[in-house]
Structure 1
């Protein structure tokens, strides 16, 4: 693999030097195209002054020097209000017009990001774009002097917090308390608890903390570097990028010391002017990523295994010299850790995360991606002034797989002497085996072919009438491992635009969409949109205003037909599905036959879901461009969402055994979305300081308009509630006595005892069951936004980024909070209910038998996710020109930054805690950027 990387880098550098040589042998003129004033939209660009509403843009090159990061959408909440465009659903990500993933590109490689939100902005992309489009355009070379830029970064990731679990002695104490609550005898006697509490022999009385410094580093590092090279002339231009990143892990023992994530990527964009009529371009990108990890799920197991179960390491020195059988096992072991220890375990725990890291082997996840795009632009002005043709074809291929070296290993259970802390016997489970065989598993491939061709017309008549048009055809074919058929998408598009003197705007855009997810008679549909604009600042009553520099109003409406709501894993929802399933016997069991069942009925009239939208937009600048702003309000209704509407059919259309349903999918469901987004930027100079303050936010409220439901109690209806509503029980404290239980509505979730959660009887029927669930919150945050501040004083620049989200709810439902039976106990049980603490307890009574009553969705476990994050602080120093005057270095910046620094929230501790996974971290970075 290293040779492949060397060859690719060499090819990229050679390409740069060849094109650079071409640039030096031909007279050139500086590029004055004003590309920075252009905005990339669907299948083209428009001037910033002509930009329609419901579109936001980011130019990473304008802020990367003060806000460095590699993730393309880092800080979007503070710049445009967030990347979840109006909360309709997952937006379509296009890189250079091709459906790709955000991880396929870094912020360094990006020229511009366009967030296309409104229906008129996305309709040319057809049904696949109904949830909005994030259009990413990579950098290209410019005619002029050859430019080079390098960056180097080194940072550390410091965990914010770890779970707090009870130690062995405390666990035993609380487990005994749980047994007492159940009316059972204690499992652990006082002497046993005392031995574990004393810590006198951690091998005989283990108290394992998987989050201690015995196994984890205080921080792990991230190193990255990249180089950019560009140049060319009026005939050929190039842009080349190469980047590398490596990151180790928190584990500091065994195979954990070898854990490493690496990513190497190369991008090359070449533009060629073949003659005065024809231009062409080629974009190539490759990504090589590897991730080496120890076998076993360390973080997942660390949240499960109780601390007293076993000692992970058994000291050989504690084995009695005359214990011949034990000594023989030592000599036969192939896994002597550090020359001092055997691997510990039990018959129940034949493997464990610590032994896995020492002797289990490793896994290497490998990802390889290749992306190729080529296009041609033909100026047809000789045929008709303003006419041009554009075509693009892309081929992407990616492949991932796991390469695993699996070892088996023996674990040992010691028998301790009663007279002394020495080992008299070892019990062996499993055996040591290192075959050296590597296994390839989880192979996955993804192939994509994408194309689009369009004819454009753009002209101006009488210096006032500006007209443009696009007629296009696009399509893609994609297939992933496991697909039974290709994922296809195709559409025709038409856009007709007119503006009078860049003052009055009108646009009609539409697409003819086609989807193989529908029956032949319903596959084709037309999506129309219209939009209008008015530049008020060009009117006489504002043209000479000392306050208003620019003010533009826009309005648009449209309908987009979409198949995004059709499950891609179940492509042909319009078809009936029959299958062979349950069996029956006859003739007194002499013969058996299998039954044929149906899981859905046929509906050849199943059609697209429709996004119907109206939005109004405003953008402008005030006070000599010191304040600029952009915003929109919108109302969207999505109806015709496909679902099986069981309540609309007789009950005999479906049965439970064998599971059978004649109910077809119909266009029944409907949702509505309404809200607003806004962006403000204030530019001010205070003495020698230049200050920029940016504020952005998006507010979206949703409603489920139609749902397949038939509840007797209206409060249970999902229709009329937010589409992300959380339904659960309402708690009323704890039962403090049996009389309290007897006097309350009967709770139908198993045996109820004092210390259990008491729930409200919503329908007053004398029992608590699922019919008492009401809305207790919503998963998503209706408001997301942020603030960015830039203060520049001489050669120093301070950048601060804060983000926030409000209005959401989450449920504490993982094993850290839902503690029952013999599971691992976390610190939350310290506040559990007992007879002695019933007036102050904040956690239900413990039980060794489980508790279906307590551990279910209710407002007892809910918490608000309102938060403000200090997401980034960066201080940058730019070396002044006089220092670099006689140097080959044209520019030099050094910077220090911190990310994810602080969360301000009532529930910060809950939100910053990760259970069963790598902990959340703060990232501190030092970096350098040099231009040549």
Structure 2
């Protein structure tokens, strides 16, 4: 909190300087100087787009934000560029103005450019932390000229797409009786009782509670946002500032749900100062205030588990008999009478419930405060040596989050019914008007980052050379850390091109990691790239079809400690306190000392070994643009414990103990390609722009510690994200079918249970019969975008797709057993009468472990194509604004997450136990002053 206060003061100082600069700017008549859109931000610098080599993709939000407004920086990005998933290597390093951060730390409006550094040659200067790729976000800077002001306001509604569908009370009882019959038990509910629940004649005595009904939920909730941008300056000082606010309410429309909301206020400011002819400095500050308020408990989670017939959440006061003495007393003393009509209902088993929590349980607020401060200096040292310059920056990033709860204890009442009248009440818990405050979920994250680099850029006739020597370091400490997590590296880049036709680049980094033993902490990562501009050659220079065509290739090795997952001392033997023993009927106890892993002082980095080829071209007078990359990556030396190489007594399961060391044994492979195509043409008065992008990235385990009796179970040779499970052969038809089939060892089997394939033919179905049944990820992702401009109207549409992935239906919504809440998936469950048409296994009041195994029965394709965005924009004619301070006004309406085309659409659009997915319909206006 101290750092946050300091940050607030610094922000105040910043805006004081900002308005001072603004005052200076207002007195100037200099013309606005536009930026160079051809510059691409790369590691510790910029490169003209024509000189890029290696696997790098870039998007400029200013190119599409006016026709495709959104607040999340990566919204729909896989429709603009290939490889936006950074080839599926893992969690990428996100840098905001060169500083480690999170995508959500910045809004799209504040961004000038997003660069996706994919290839090893592109990321190596960032050291071991960048081995999974880098998303480099560069925020806007002020431009010389009069102050520009942009104001934008949005308002929208979020409409739920799909709610879970659960059986009502009468249907639940009917199907539970079916489960009883399947188990050889007598039905639990008689027909008369079921009829009373079905008639809804007295929903308080015979409840049929639907927690997703309009009684408790709105049809939609609202979201709103507003932001203001200011930029301008002189040659001496330039500034950019953004104030952005976003908020929304909740679907809950009762009790504390009416007060639920989330809000985000962010303030960002960038200043560039020219101190003299050869030194300039900059200061970037940003602060984000995230707040949310919600009722106590977890409404969505509880709504997915409570049966509809358990109890009524309300006890009507009007039905409490005057002769019910205790009931009348409770009414007089109750602290929570809902709408003057109801007491809160419950039972001894359920003394709290989602509805009562929202009405009487209190509320909690989640608070997050983020402060970022970046300052740096750039010095032109050409007076000492032509082309020499110095650059350095340091940053502080501080995040603080916590939850403040104000909870209230409340009473619930269970009625005793006589006919249609309540003749008695049983009270559980006590009412208490005073609220108990508690602070929890406290988390702090502090990051200090710095880098300095010396650059040399010069030309000798047609020979262009550049060099960079960079040193960087990061210190990060989070709640629970005993020491800082550190990362440091020393990088070197040497680049040469001849006449901007032939390119060569060497980039390398000396990395250091405290996660490794002292003798293995330092390593060198070398990379190379070559490029050739074919259109610079005579055979293509005058082509009428090919405007530009460039080939490049890169290869390299990046040492990484990311696979160590910030686990210190994996190279040392580690012991800890574990299971113990007790005596004297538990009065005394002692714990055991067990080993976590053994010693290996030769543990070292994993290595990303890569080769990639890239083609970049434009054709037909720049109407068609194409960029494509093919890649092959071997990740070797992945640390793992090789249990198969040691006697079994080196590893025990109870108590958990292992003397097996970590070794650099594992090896994975990634390969594939990405492509992006852009086409533009003017047809009459209509400007047409079409873009498409796709990435195919597949993976394979090359080496892993394993020993299976059957080769089909080997993980080696399979995708890293492979799903293993059993192969379903339908349902057992009868006892003879069970008798004549291999024995299934997942519990008692009865007719109507899932029958599995005996893969190894040993007459037993167990874990050894699992085969690959799919993969979690989608190897192919793609997207398309379409823009039509006619006069002052713009139409934009964006679609995204994914193909080749698999999902598994699991969780309580699909895996129904015992007395759990029944969803509509059980409607066609197996019985003797439906055995030939059933689509769901037999219901049971028992555990049914046999049916709820990962298998092809529960697997489904996640292939989908989404119409993710449509926006209509109208720009007011300039002539209407001649006599006003406004320079431009855009009015737009858009829709997000509009349609999904997929065989299993309903499964993928359904959230169970959390807030539902929604479609957003938004209207906005932007004014430029």
Match of 1:506 in 2: 504
Match of 1:291 in 2: 292
Structure 2: distance between partners of 1:592 and 1:187: 45
Distance apart, 1:27 and its partner CA: 6.3
Does residue 402 in structure 1 map to residue 399 in structure 2?
Answer: no
Gaps of 5+ in 2: none
Distance apart, 1:595 and its partner CA: 4.1
Distance change >3 Å, CA 457–CA 313, structure 1 → 2: same
Q: 1:49-88 maps to which residues of 2 (within 5 A)?
A: 49-81=50-82, 83-88=84-89
Does residue 804 in structure 1 map to residue 801 in structure 2?
Answer: yes
Structure 2: distance between partners of 1:716 and 1:23: 70
Distance apart, 1:567 and its partner CA: 2.1
Structure 1: distance between partners of 2:318 and 2:12: 56
Does residue 623 in structure 1 map to residue 599 in structure 2?
Answer: no
Does residue 453 in structure 1 map to residue 455 in structure 2?
Answer: no
Query: Are the equivalent residues in 1 in contact too, given 2:28–2:145 (CA < 8 A)?
Result: no
Alpha-carbon deviations, 1:604-635, whole Å to 9, x = none?
10000000000000001000000011110000
Does residue 427 in structure 1 map to residue 444 in structure 2?
Answer: no
Does residue 211 in structure 1 map to residue 243 in structure 2?
Answer: no
Alpha-carbon deviations, 1:303-341, whole Å to 9, x = none?
000000010011111111222221011101000111111
Structure 2: distance between partners of 1:472 and 1:160: 50
Which of the numbers 511, 522, 525 marks the counterpart of 2:523?
525
Structure 2: distance between partners of 1:138 and 1:591: 62
Query: Are the equivalent residues in 1 in contact too, given 2:57–2:115 (CA < 8 A)?
Result: yes
Match of 2:545 in 1: 547
Match of 1:534 in 2: 532
User: 2:629 is paired with a residue of what secondary structure?
Assistant: strand
Structure 2: distance between partners of 1:26 and 1:790: 38
Which of the numbers 22, 25, 36 marks the counterpart of 1:23?
25
Distance apart, 1:52 and its partner CA: 1.5
Distance apart, 1:538 and its partner CA: 1.0
Structure 2: distance between partners of 1:319 and 1:342: 10
Which of the numbers 819, 822, 834 marks the counterpart of 1:822?
819
Structure 2: distance between partners of 1:598 and 1:891: 69
Structure 1: distance between partners of 2:65 and 2:688: 17
Distance apart, 1:14 and its partner CA: 4.8
Match of 1:393 in 2: 394
Distance apart, 1:884 and its partner CA: 1.3
Distance apart, 1:581 and its partner CA: 3.5
Structure 1: distance between partners of 2:379 and 2:508: 24
Distance apart, 1:82 and its partner CA: 5.5
Query: Are the equivalent residues in 2 in contact too, given 1:16–1:230 (CA < 8 A)?
Result: no
Distance change >3 Å, CA 121–CA 743, structure 1 → 2: same
Q: 1:482-493 maps to which residues of 2 (within 5 A)?
A: 482-493=480-491
Query: Are the equivalent residues in 2 in contact too, given 1:29–1:234 (CA < 8 A)?
Result: no
Q: 1:108-119 maps to which residues of 2 (within 5 A)?
A: 108-119=109-120
Query: Are the equivalent residues in 1 in contact too, given 2:293–2:366 (CA < 8 A)?
Result: yes
Distance apart, 1:31 and its partner CA: 2.3
Query: Are the equivalent residues in 2 in contact too, given 1:239–1:269 (CA < 8 A)?
Result: yes
Structure 1: distance between partners of 2:6 and 2:907: 45
Distance change >3 Å, CA 931–CA 590, structure 1 → 2: closer
Structure 2: distance between partners of 1:585 and 1:61: 68
Structure 2: distance between partners of 1:667 and 1:265: 44
Structure 2: distance between partners of 1:243 and 1:30: 25
User: 1:443 is paired with a residue of what secondary structure?
Assistant: strand
Distance change >3 Å, CA 8–CA 161, structure 1 → 2: farther
Q: 1:348-367 maps to which residues of 2 (within 5 A)?
A: 348-367=349-368
Structure 2: distance between partners of 1:372 and 1:5: 8
Distance change >3 Å, CA 585–CA 192, structure 1 → 2: closer
Distance apart, 1:580 and its partner CA: 3.8
Q: TM-score, normalised by structure 2?
A: 0.98
User: 1:803 is paired with a residue of what secondary structure?
Assistant: strand
Q: TM-score, normalised by structure 1?
A: 0.97
Match of 1:693 in 2: 690
Structure 2: distance between partners of 1:855 and 1:581: 32
Structure 2: distance between partners of 1:919 and 1:171: 23
Structure 2: distance between partners of 1:543 and 1:672: 39
Distance apart, 1:53 and its partner CA: 2.9
Does residue 471 in structure 1 map to residue 469 in structure 2?
Answer: yes
Distance apart, 1:646 and its partner CA: 0.4
Match of 1:381 in 2: 382
User: 1:36 is paired with a residue of what secondary structure?
Assistant: coil
Alpha-carbon deviations, 1:645-689, whole Å to 9, x = none?
101222232233333211100001110000000000000111100
Structure 2: distance between partners of 1:6 and 1:522: 42
Structure 2: distance between partners of 1:904 and 1:470: 49
Structure 1: distance between partners of 2:638 and 2:178: 51
Match of 2:128 in 1: 127
* CA RMSD of superposed structures (Å): 2.0
Structure 2: distance between partners of 1:354 and 1:27: 63
Query: Are the equivalent residues in 2 in contact too, given 1:871–1:902 (CA < 8 A)?
Result: yes
Distance apart, 1:592 and its partner CA: 8.6
Distance apart, 1:146 and its partner CA: 1.1
Does residue 302 in structure 1 map to residue 299 in structure 2?
Answer: no
Match of 1:768 in 2: 765
Which of the numbers 514, 520, 527 marks the counterpart of 1:516?
514
Distance apart, 1:11 and its partner CA: 6.7
Distance change >3 Å, CA 311–CA 7, structure 1 → 2: farther
Query: Are the equivalent residues in 1 in contact too, given 2:29–2:145 (CA < 8 A)?
Result: no
Distance apart, 1:599 and its partner CA: 1.8
Alpha-carbon deviations, 1:145-166, whole Å to 9, x = none?
2100010000000000111100
Distance change >3 Å, CA 772–CA 365, structure 1 → 2: same
Distance apart, 1:832 and its partner CA: 0.1
User: 1:565 is paired with a residue of what secondary structure?
Assistant: helix
Which of the numbers 831, 836, 852 marks the counterpart of 2:833?
836
Q: 1:247-396 maps to which residues of 2 (within 5 A)?
A: 247-396=248-397
Does residue 221 in structure 1 map to residue 222 in structure 2?
Answer: yes
Distance change >3 Å, CA 913–CA 580, structure 1 → 2: closer
Alpha-carbon deviations, 1:179-200, whole Å to 9, x = none?
0000001111111101000000
Distance apart, 1:83 and its partner CA: 3.1
Structure 1: distance between partners of 2:323 and 2:253: 35
Query: Are the equivalent residues in 1 in contact too, given 2:7–2:371 (CA < 8 A)?
Result: no
Structure 2: distance between partners of 1:136 and 1:908: 34
Which of the numbers 687, 693, 702 marks the counterpart of 1:705?
702
Structure 2: distance between partners of 1:586 and 1:298: 43
Does residue 146 in structure 1 map to residue 147 in structure 2?
Answer: yes
Match of 1:900 in 2: 897
Distance apart, 1:5 and its partner CA: 13
Which of the numbers 866, 869, 872 marks the counterpart of 2:866?
869
Match of 1:567 in 2: 565
Query: Are the equivalent residues in 1 in contact too, given 2:29–2:146 (CA < 8 A)?
Result: no
Query: Are the equivalent residues in 2 in contact too, given 1:58–1:114 (CA < 8 A)?
Result: yes
Does residue 665 in structure 1 map to residue 667 in structure 2?
Answer: no
Structure 2: distance between partners of 1:590 and 1:905: 60
Distance apart, 1:571 and its partner CA: 1.8
Structure 2: distance between partners of 1:708 and 1:382: 59
Query: Are the equivalent residues in 2 in contact too, given 1:503–1:535 (CA < 8 A)?
Result: yes
Distance change >3 Å, CA 895–CA 38, structure 1 → 2: same
Distance apart, 1:23 and its partner CA: 2.0
Which of the numbers 762, 766, 778 marks the counterpart of 1:781?
778
Structure 1: distance between partners of 2:583 and 2:872: 81
User: 1:35 is paired with a residue of what secondary structure?
Assistant: coil
Structure 2: distance between partners of 1:10 and 1:703: 53
Distance change >3 Å, CA 225–CA 764, structure 1 → 2: same
Does residue 607 in structure 1 map to residue 608 in structure 2?
Answer: no
Distance apart, 1:51 and its partner CA: 1.2
Structure 2: distance between partners of 1:158 and 1:24: 46
User: 1:483 is paired with a residue of what secondary structure?
Assistant: coil
Match of 1:676 in 2: 673
